[in-house]
Structure 1
Amino acid sequence: MSLILPRDRRSFLKQSAAVVAASSCLPIGIGSAAAEKTSSSESLVKVLYDSLKEEQRSKMCYDWNHIDPQRGLLRSRVSANWMINEQEVNSDFYTADQKDLIRKVFEGILDPQWISKFDQQLDDDCGGFGEEQSIAIFGKPGDDKFELVLTGRHMTLRCDGDSAEHVAFGGPIFYGHAPTGGDEEADHAGNVFWNQALAANNVYQMLDGKQRKAAQVAKTTGEQKVGFQGNDGRFTGIPVTELSADQKAEMQVMLKKLVEPFRQSDQQEALACLKSQGGLDACHLSFFTDNDLGKDEVWDNWRLEGPSFVWHYRGAPHVHVWVNVADSPTVSLNV
């Protein structure tokens, strides 16, 4: 049953909150991650969808498996800098109420402590949330399959309601930051995602000489090459199985840093996908030596990769991070 859209903004947002509150009355325990999704951003996607006029839907709502003639399966596309359609979030195309809902969906798919950091990234890279950003909704919210995709400069994020099977984060995602506008210094001052690289370099510092030689790779893998290789893939770097117990413990610290910007349900989903393929022991860790800003051997470009797990971090000249995680290497990539 469709919601009846209230005329005034206060009633509209009150109704949105009521939908979330009602949906959150779900049992805690098994399936709590899915319950969290159902009770938060996904509920607001439905409220947003129900508020759209037909002329709006015709320009930013698509069938689940919509194929764009130039860009392929549009729902699963990922890019470092793109608009999924021409309808900018911060434009007259959306009402003030709808903009508020889009913002709340965005906040809901992030860890609360990371909202301000993503806002800093957006301020630096495109002038703030909603500027040079667009959304698309695939499928019909409330049905079995639907997903909202948020795109812009240094951002491809998803809110999928567990509709996209086998994948974490609703599909491949991208995040990045260029606080200086372009090339960065070796310390990456002001970059909100540099702490992830420091966590990876903490692992490197624990490696002995032989391990470091195995982990170093002379040429950075192309950042868009984040499709899955499967169990028989030709991975670069050092196998995690060759690390000691204390080094593997530091790898777990690093992994936590990678997933922490996102809501708990997406974190759990990503870790479950990794576990299904053998955990970190199924992965290789590479440090690329060809773009070492400052020549300090604090590696700016690195990659953690397993059969169906890719976290590619390119820190030179500024940060680009490509993420593709699934429980099966059969999932294809659209870049």
Structure 2
Amino acid sequence: MARFDDRKSETPADCEGFSRRDFVRTLGAGVLGASVPWIGLPAWAADAKPSKDRPSPSDLSETAVARFYKTLNKTQRETICFPFDHNLRTVVKNNWSIVKPTIKDLDKEQQALCREIMKNLCSEEGYERFMKQMKDDSGGFNAYHVAVFGEPETDKPFEWVLTGRHDTLRVDGDSVAGSAFGGPIFYGHAAGGRDEEDAKHTANVWWHQGELANDIFKTLDDKQKARALVDDAEDDDQKTISLKGAKLPPTGLAIADLDGQQKAMTTKLVDAMLRMFREVDAAEVRHCLEAAGGVDKLRITFFKEGDIDDDGVWDIWKLEGPAFSWYFRGSPHVHAWLNVARPA
């Protein structure tokens, strides 16, 4: 894969911030309680055992989290560590600081461990894309924030969460039973620091996913296009990826109504997203998806709103099923929300 252009970005006002001060101020008002629901309790509570189709505490990222946790002194633990059942763990946002300190504020060993965790959380291609995105959006990986929930050096549930501009990513060793990635995640990119990207999303590390989605739209006949295309986009918000189960609305076009080639293109689209993560997380998503009926149970929707340059290449779209919700907003730049679970 070609190397990406490393240009430092600005911090536009469209992306919502969330500081530790905001957290302290809003917790009493119950704001954080309105996090995205997903299926699952701590795996220990559910008596679930790790398997090959989901992470385990012995995986590379998870063991690095345990080593990172052991290096934290008392002051650091008071600042970035929380009980596993803390409300803050379930939050997903497009731009927020889960804790005030950045990775840069940690010592050199701890910085290296955070990078090791991140590197093992991704595929080789995904790591390169994330590093390019973080460089553009915030000046680099060390500008991001990490928090630890639970006790990763024990047999109790835990989760490591990374946040910052255009990222909410997790490592949990399957501590949250029934939930891929340990809960909803977010990734995005404002290529080259441009808040408003051009219609081709030049240099955006995630737009290849948008191109694949639009390739599916091009194969639809007129009646299918009419069903798949709606006027108003959904909110750029965590609530958009709440899992609806049997109450999934009949919005958009059912993948079950497509032909074999189009279904294969849908699988290719999902694979393009999964290819940026480590194989064990990708395997868990595939397992969750198959358990909920596979791609035939998904629906794809394209939105006229936000069509950059009115070129008919749909920048905003959604792929959703009973236990799968992927909302891709490519306008004015890419925001992608993802929530996947195993059916209850």
Fold similarity call, TM over 0.5: yes
For structure 1, the residue ranges without an aligned partner over 5 or more in a row are 1-29, 67-72, 330-335
Q: Which has the higher contact order (CA 8 A, sep 6+)?
A: 2
User: What is the distance in 1 between the residues matched to 2:280 and 2:302?
Assistant: 29
Partner of residue 339, structure 2: 324
Partner of residue 26, structure 2: none
User: What is the distance in 1 between the residues matched to 2:324 and 2:119?
Assistant: 25
Q: 2:112 aligns with which of 93, 100, 125?
A: 100
Partner of residue 142, structure 2: 130
Deviation at 1:274, TM superposition (A): 1.1
Partner of residue 313, structure 1: 328
Deviation at 1:35, TM superposition (A): 6.5
User: What is the distance in 1 between the residues matched to 2:113 and 2:336?
Assistant: 27
Contact 1:36 1:265 survives alignment (8 Å): no
Render the CA deviation track for 1:23-53: whole Å, top value 9, x for unaligned.
Answer: xxxxxxx933456762301001111111111
Deviation at 1:298, TM superposition (A): 1.1
For the structure 1 residues 279 and 312, does the alpha-carbon distance in structure 2 shift closer, same or farther, using more than 3 Å as the test? same
Matched, 1:212 2:225: yes
Q: How many residues align?
A: 291
Partner of residue 152, structure 1: 164
Partner of residue 23, structure 1: none
Contact 2:184 2:338 survives alignment (8 Å): yes
Deviation at 1:181, TM superposition (A): 2.7
Sequence identity, in percent?
A: 38
Q: 1:286 aligns with which of 301, 308, 312?
A: 301
Larger-gyration structure (1/2): 1
User: What is the distance in 2 between the residues matched to 1:217 and 1:268?
Assistant: 32
Partner of residue 26, structure 1: none
Matched, 1:198 2:218: no
Partner of residue 167, structure 1: 179
User: What is the distance in 1 between the residues matched to 2:119 and 2:174?
Assistant: 18
User: What is the distance in 2 between the residues matched to 1:325 and 1:35?
Assistant: 14
Partner of residue 238, structure 1: 253
SS in 2 for 1:189: coil
Matched, 1:32 2:52: yes
Partner of residue 78, structure 2: 58
Q: 1:253 aligns with which of 247, 257, 268?
A: 268
Matches for 1:68-87 after TM superposition, within 5 Å: 73-87=87-101
Q: 1:298 aligns with which of 313, 325, 329?
A: 313
CA RMSD of aligned residues (A): 1.4
User: Please, what TM-score do these two structures have when normalized by structure 2?
Assistant: 0.82
Matches for 1:12-51 after TM superposition, within 5 Å: 31-34=51-54, 38-51=58-71
Deviation at 1:256, TM superposition (A): 0.7
Contact 1:81 1:155 survives alignment (8 Å): yes
